[in-house]
Amino acid sequence: MKKREFRFAIVGVLAIALLLTGCVNNSVSKPLKSESAISQYDLRTGEITVKGEENVTEQTITIGATADVHGRIYAYDYATDTPDSDAGLAKVYTAVLEARAANPNMILMDVGDTVQDNSAELFNDLDIHPMIQALNEMGYDTWTLGNHEFNFEKSFLDRNVLAFNGSVLSSNIKEESDGSSYVQPYKIFSVNGCRVAIVGVTPPHVPIWEASSPSHFKGLEFEGTLKSVRATVDSLEGQYDVLVGAFHMGRTDDKNAEGIYDLADNVQEFDAIVGGHEHAKYIEQRGDVTIIEPGKYGWALAKVDIKVNKDGDKWNVVSVEANNVETKKLEENSEILGEFKFVHDQSVADANIVVGTIAGEFVNGVDYLTGEDKVTTMPRAQIEDTAVIDLINKVQMFYSGAEVSSAALFNFGSTLHEGDFKKKDVAYIYKYPNTLVGVNITGTNLKKYMEWSAGYYNTAVDGDLTVSFNKDVRGYNYDMFSGVTYDVDVSKPVGERVVNVMFDGAPLDDARVYKLAVNNYRFGTLTSKGFATVDDKYFDSYEAMQDAGRIRSLIVQYVQEEKNGAVSPDVDNNWKIIGFNFDNPMIADVVSKIKDGSLEIPKSDDGRTMNIRSLTAADL
């Protein structure tokens, strides 16, 4: 087999020595511990890792995979300080060991978004992040980089790329300097002589999402996924018998780029694709390509069994079977619990640090229709103004010096309860480690941005008994604004909904430049939509304060320093929905039937998006 050799430049680490000269064994590696250890990385993607050398003519190739684990080792949610029964690598490892017992040659992959969320950033300064140590301990063979791997300084990612004992994959991340690959575009395994090639992909929108922090992807460029995957597969011609995708991407894409469907349709050589990014749990067939995603947080271990037989010197794929092995009822592996007890203990302790007091309930009944404390129909905070969003916007305006601010509801159940104000409460209402950006924006472009956000709602028509949401827009892409008053007329078409916009008692001035506060993710949206440019940025909290400039840290600082440690549920009701009859007496019938279980709010097929269709009298 012809070997292909790629260069992978890792910046900000010690000089890299090539230690491996032969094939890698498939034993479970212990986590690396020292600075010297993490400076060593096998740069040669052409090396084949051997998993089994039996002389067989038929066999089953087993692929195991996780995706979007987001900082979960224990089955625990540190933002709520409660157990999470279907989460965590400790549970996944139980499923992995069972699968390995049935097939010791299983290839184990993680498909990205691994080192962010669930207090994982507490450990970013360690030589090796605990999530990478856990992947090593569990014997993962490949790790595809997800977009959230780029939420932090690139030196953090470089360090952990080096620390991972397997192969780090992404075919579409290139070095700006010479076009070489940042990490391995593919990895080949020999399973009893059958060559299995794994190709990785990362969302190409990282430079947009991280536009305010270019140091997070310094020196890198992100190619279109179809272009890079097509080129990678072409380069592999004659070098594989089975082709598997390890793609951190959803089935479709919300930014006019390719999704898994596009890749499966246009690169039909794949036998199976494991997806991520979408946080969905599904198994689908797209032509001859089997597609599977195991959900988020360790909900399941995606398991793909590929039966092959040998005809002369050629291996042929006979069948592909996929299954999501759910972890909810599995026990956590005791070895993983013991190895990473320090992570759990430190995360729980940090979550319970008291930073102030809460003077009253911020959202009374987070579910709009039922009034209950769990969202099952639609979030109240996306139907009316709430104190939670107002608090976030106040903080953003204060530290950026902005006149207008926008914030999204990252957790549909976000509220604050009367009593101690703890760090876990901040993480609950503000899920991501975003930073704050101040932007100069014209009134015209501010209005365009507000209209873009209002596209979250479906157009209301006569007879609708509920306001509903666009199934193609994620909840975190609906922003609510402070500093202006406005109405959202959901009876009007997208682009014409935001009306009666007033600033300081006067209509919004199209020509005037306003100071707007947004998070770094949304700044990327503004630049990609043409609502602002990089030159319009006048403030960047990360540049000014580093990690202390993350919005979660600013919320704590604001409460302690500006509110004397006490925060009240203040809401100014500066916006409202119009164009819908909230007084229709039949709405009471809807609520009654929902509460007795005879009626449900429509959800998307994958269950990820709620309230995708308005209910009418025909549903009663």
Least confident window among 20-34, 187-201, 475-489: 20-34
- Are the C-beta atoms of 487 and 577 separated by less than 8 Å? yes
Task: Identify the CATH class of 37-344.
Answer: alpha beta
The answer on pLDDT for 546 being more than 90 is no
According to the model, what pLDDT value does residue 547 have?
Answer: 82
- As a whole number of angstroms, the longest Cα–Cα distance in the chain is 81
Q: Does the pLDDT at position 60 exceed 90?
A: yes
pLDDT at 517 over 90: yes
378-416 per-position pLDDT tens digit: 999 999 999 999 999 999 999 999 999 999 999 999 999
Q: Using CA atoms, how far apart are residues 460 and 491, in angstroms rounded to an integer?
A: 5
Q: Is the model's pLDDT at 49 over the cut of 90?
A: yes
pLDDT tens per residue, range 198-254:
999 999 999 999 988 899 999 999 999 999 999 999 999 999 999 999 999 999 875
Please give the pLDDT value at position 608.
75
Q: Evaluate if pTM is beyond 0.85.
A: no
Q: Decide if domain 353-619 falls under CATH 3.20.20.80.
A: no
* Mean pLDDT computed over every residue of the chain: 91
- DSSP H stretches of helix in 37-150: 89-102, 130-137
Asked if 209 and 239 touch (Cβ cutoff 8 Å), the reply is no
The arithmetic mean of pLDDT across residues 547-575, rounded, is: 96
Domain ranges of the chain: 37-344, 353-619
Mean pLDDT to the nearest integer, 346-355: 96
Instruction: Give the pLDDT mean for 417-424.
Output: 96
Q: Give tens-digit pLDDT for 446-498.
A: 999 999 999 999 999 999 999 999 999 999 999 999 999 999 999 999 999 99
Residue 602 has pLDDT above 60, yes or no: yes
Assigned token pair, 343: 């992570």
Which of 488, 522, 577, 471 shows the shortest CA–CA distance to 252? 471
CB 72 within 8 A of CB 298: yes
| Residue-level length of the chain | 620
Report strand pairing: 186-191 vs 194-201.
Answer: antiparallel
For residues 123 and 160, the answer to whether their CB atoms sit within 8 Å is no
Contacts of 561 (CB under 8 A, 6+ apart): none
Residue 313 has pLDDT above 70, yes or no: yes
Average pLDDT of the residues in 354-358: 97
Range list of β-strands (E), 129-261: 142-144, 167-169, 173-175, 186-191, 194-201, 220-222, 242-247
Task: Name, in order, each residue with C-beta under 8 angstroms of 598's C-beta and a sequence gap of 6 or more.
Answer: none
Overall average pLDDT of the 6-28 stretch: 33
**pLDDT category of residue 79 using cuts at 50, 70 and 90:** confident
Tokens of 253: 């894409």
267-282: burial string, b at 16+ Cβ within 10 Å, e else: bebbbbbbbbbbbbbb
